[in-house]
Amino acid sequence: MKARLNMSNTDIDRLRVIRNVLDKKLTQLAAAAILDLGDRQVRRLCVQVRSRGNRGILHGLLGRSSNNQCDPELLGMALSAIHNPRWQGFTAVFAQQKLESLHGIVLSDTTVRKLMTMTELWQRRRPKARHRAWRERRDCVGMLIQLDGSEHDWFEGRGPKCALLVYIDDATSRILHAEFVTVEDTFNLMRSTEIYLRKHGRCVAFYVDKDSIYKVNRQATIDEELRDSDPITQFTRAMTELGIEVIPANSPQAKGRVERSFDTHQDRLIKELRLANINDMAAGNIFLRTVYIDDHNRRFAVDPANNTDAHRPLLADHRLDQILSRRTTRSIANDYTVRFEKRFFQLFEDQPVRVGPKDKIEVEIRLDGTTHLRAKGTYLRFKTIEKRPYRPHLVAQPSRGLQRDDPRTKGVGSTPAKDHPWRRLFLNGPHRVGLAPSVLSKI
């Protein structure tokens, strides 16, 4: 019984042309033009068909295993490692890197992707095509720092939910600073920015979104319009004093380097924290500084167009403890007290500058929680009092028509005399009509 060959239509057409060459009906050059092959390939096919028959037109490894296939035992070891519950959600590239670094299993990402696809551990996601306008990177490190935060369950329920603040350089895509904070608010942002400033210096500009931390999303008041000044947030005010420009982006795609990086962090960083058994922010911040940031920059950072560092040093006038603070304007009361958030501050008599009632001063709340009062750029001397001093109410004096021991004065503040204008115009006039008898009996 003859063996049955499974040929495609292309193989059948190619076999017919080769048979015509063997039967001297076509030249090798003509067959090469028909099959869109080289004449050497046509001669090779003729030799195969002459020696092996019709099977010679097929590939020699058809139906057989590849000579370059991976070791099945090695693939089994890789598959058992990938099936670990702690590896849930790993992408093919990240899984390939972890197989090499943790288990010493060297495979290509294509092989790992095929393994994960066959076992339904990974499915291809087709991104939607979107139109974007390309923007040139800044030339130097420190010219533009893209700053943003992402609130996420970074510890997958093993620890509290928190936010990750990331500072990415636009010229190189390097993470210059990253930190876990409880919530993305003004104080946490200032604390993290202080660490960045002391480590790298003052950048030229921060590229941020239009969150209320960075931009005041309201119309200017009448006083602000008269001063021809736009309202700014505490963070923007602090950066302005440091000579750093704060640029709000018009869309998330405009600061795409930091926005896209959170896709990577929410994929890789979560799994790295899981593998390292990290369950709190303190350990997470140590892991960021010692392991993750360096590894991320080594994989994804690029060289800048200009090697000059645009960061500027902090100057002697840049008192970060004073600049990175929350400032609010308050007025001095007549008793030289200032009220702020249900607290009272008593100003001392001797001050470095002259201040008086109804003068405007600044209440400065620093990152360490201390409170300071400023007027005309000078700090005032004061003390904190728990509550406003007790002020007794004025005791009502009896009227001219009644004696102090008159029983009618008990329980009332004052009773008008009989010749009081109120009696003449109201009680003895036309308004007397309609008064209750109980009231008339007391008159």
28-57 residue pLDDT tens? 888 888 888 888 988 998 998 888 888 888
* 8 A C-beta contact, residue 199 and residue 239: no
H or E element, residue 337: strand 337-340
For position 374, what pLDDT does the model report?
93
Q: Report in angstroms the alpha-carbon separations of 433 from 199, 337, 424.
A: 85, 51, 14
Q: How confident is the model at residue 407 (pLDDT cuts 50, 70, 90)?
A: low
Phi/psi zone of residue 153: left (φ > 0), alpha (ψ -120 to 50 degrees), beta? beta
Q: How confident is the model at residue 225 (pLDDT cuts 50, 70, 90)?
A: low
For the whole model, what pTM was predicted? 0.65
What does the pLDDT average to over 340-369? 91
Q: Report in angstroms the alpha-carbon separations of 308 from 141, 147, 329.
A: 7, 21, 41
Instruction: Work out the percent of the chain whose per-residue pLDDT is above 70.
Output: 83
* 8 A C-beta contact, residue 109 and residue 130: no
For position 69, what pLDDT does the model report?
77
In this structure, the strands spanning 382-385 and 343-347 are antiparallel
C-alpha atoms less than 13 angstroms from C-alpha of 401 in its C-beta half-sphere: 11
Q: How confident is the model at residue 359 (pLDDT cuts 50, 70, 90)?
A: very high
Say yes or no to pLDDT of 351 above 70. yes
Q: What is the spatial distance between Cα 252 and Cα 255, in angstroms, rounded to a whole number?
A: 6
- Helix, strand, coil percentages (3-state) for the chain, rounded to 5, are 40, 15, 45
For position 228, what pLDDT does the model report?
62
For position 435, what pLDDT does the model report?
52
For position 220, what pLDDT does the model report?
66
For position 413, what pLDDT does the model report?
54
| Digit-coded pLDDT (tens) for 270-322 | 999 999 999 999 999 999 999 999 999 999 999 999 999 999 999 988 999 99
Choose among 89, 79, 35: nearest CA to 57. 35
| Digit-coded pLDDT (tens) for 411-431 | 455 666 777 776 665 555 545
- The DSSP code sequence of 275-295 is HTT--SHHHHHHHIIIIIHHH
For position 1, what pLDDT does the model report?
47
What does the pLDDT average to over 377-396? 75
For position 146, what pLDDT does the model report?
94
Say yes or no to pLDDT of 108 above 80. yes
* 8 A C-beta contact, residue 126 and residue 113: no
* 8 A C-beta contact, residue 375 and residue 361: yes
Q: What is the spatial distance between Cα 292 and Cα 298, in angstroms, rounded to a whole number?
A: 10
Kindly give, in sequence order, each residue whose CB lies less than 8 Å from that of residue 210, ignoring residues fewer than 6 positions away.
217, 248, 249, 250
For position 402, what pLDDT does the model report?
47
Top mean-pLDDT range of 20-29, 214-223, 364-373, 402-411: 364-373
φ, ψ for residue 145, nearest 5 deg? -115, 120
Q: What is the spatial distance between Cα 326 and Cα 371, in angstroms, rounded to a whole number?
A: 10
For position 300, what pLDDT does the model report?
92
Q: How confident is the model at residue 186 (pLDDT cuts 50, 70, 90)?
A: very high
φ, ψ for residue 117, nearest 5 deg? -70, -40
Choose among 333, 341, 344: nearest CA to 387. 344
pLDDT averaged over the chain?
A: 84
Residue in the structure block whose two tokens are 């009896």: 398
| Digit-coded pLDDT (tens) for 76-94 | 888 888 888 888 888 888 8
User: Across 170-273, where does the E strand assignment appear?
Assistant: 175-181, 205-208, 245-248
What does the pLDDT average to over 127-147? 82
What does the pLDDT average to over 105-120? 85
What does the pLDDT average to over 134-140? 87
Please name the residue ranges forming H helices in 61-179: 72-82, 92-103, 109-118
145-219+228-300 — its CATH code? Answer: 3.30.420.10
What does the pLDDT average to over 378-394? 77
Degrees to nearest 5, angle at CA 149 with 274 and 238: 140
Q: What is the spatial distance between Cα 22 and Cα 292, in angstroms, rounded to a whole number?
A: 66
Type of residue found at 371:
T
For position 226, what pLDDT does the model report?
62
| Digit-coded pLDDT (tens) for 54-80 | 888 887 767 677 777 788 888 888 888
